[in-house]
Amino acid sequence: MAMTTTTVRLDTDTKAAFDRLCKEFGMSVNTAITIFVNKVVEERRIPFTIGKEEDARRMRLLDRLTGAWKEDGETGNLVRSIRDARSFGNTRHTKDF
């Protein structure tokens, strides 16, 4: 398989801290970054929460729940939506609603 080079610019202190941690983990910086890139490609997502993802997830859930209420104004749909969404807050995968 052909290989390519990627350059990452980091501030000096962050690079030094990352170098130390990688050494503690028993791997090179190159190996750590390769693991990260392969995981992103495999899962088709960043494998950890970045910034406001949790807020966006809550907003999608709220939109889904209020949509169930607006549909016919009955609590039954809202309760079903809450039950269906229970695992939604416990999953690491983002669902599009």
pLDDT digits (tens, 9 = 90+) for 4-52: 999 989 999 999 999 999 999 999 999 999 999 999 999 888 887 666 6
* 4 SS3 class: coil
Hunting for tokens 């995968």 — which residue is that?
Answer: 93
CA dihedral for 31, 37, 42, 47, sign (positive or negative): positive
The predicted-structure confidence for 50-75, as pLDDT tens digits, reads as follows 666 667 777 777 766 666 555 555 55
* pLDDT for res 45: 85
pLDDT of residue 1: 86
Q: How many CA atoms lie within 13 A of 96 on its CB side?
A: 0
Q: What is the mean pLDDT of the chain?
A: 76
pLDDT band at residue 84 under the 50/70/90 scheme:
low
